[in-house]
Amino acid sequence: MWLKSSAFGDGTAIPRRFTGEGGDVSPPLDWDDAPSGTRSFVVLCDDPDAPSGTWHHWAAYDIPPGCKSLSDGAAEQAARQGFQQALNDFGRSGYGGPYPPRSDGPHHYRFRLLAVSAGHLKVRKDPTCQQVEREARSHMLAEVVLTGLYER
């Protein structure tokens, strides 16, 4: 399984449009070669370099198994595209773009795609990103990571 973005490459800078300083728009993501038995996908985005510990920016889940991409801004159209979103560490549902402290150096934003054997994750209403990840990992078949960098 692989994961890429037309907006940035692995280990390269995330364009401002996809950050909290820009449009706060979720970036385009493409993937393929999911393992047999995949019944849905989960997309997670977090910042392990945050001063207070890992900061969770996004969890999109129950993405249909036939889906092989999310267009830029997909987080704003989740219901229409047939997936759910968790509460991020900004306290809202959906995508919250990179917004590290000024002069903190580059932070590594991990966009992770999980292929899972469950069609729908059994999580409470309005779950957190951590709750979605925990449930997804209990059904995980494969995981790939795309890392983007951002600093202010």
The torsion of the CA quartet 130, 136, 137, 141, rounded to 10 degrees, works out to -150
**Entry pTM:** 0.97
pLDDT, averaged across the chain = 97
User: CA-to-CA distance for 92 and 88, rounded, in angstroms?
Assistant: 6
CATH of the domain at 42: 3.90.280.10
DSSP structure class, residue 114: E
Q: What is the pLDDT of residues 109-129, one digit of tens each?
A: 999 999 999 999 999 999 999
Positions of the chain with pLDDT lower than 70, given as ranges: none
* Residue-range definition of the domain harbouring residue 145: 2-150
User: How many domains is the chain partitioned into structurally?
Assistant: 1
pLDDT of residue 146: 98
Q: Residue 19: how many CA atoms within 13 Å on its side-chain side?
A: 20
DSSP structure class, residue 3: E
pLDDT of residue 54: 98
pLDDT of residue 118: 98
The closest of 48, 7, 24, 15 to 97, measured between CA atoms, is 24
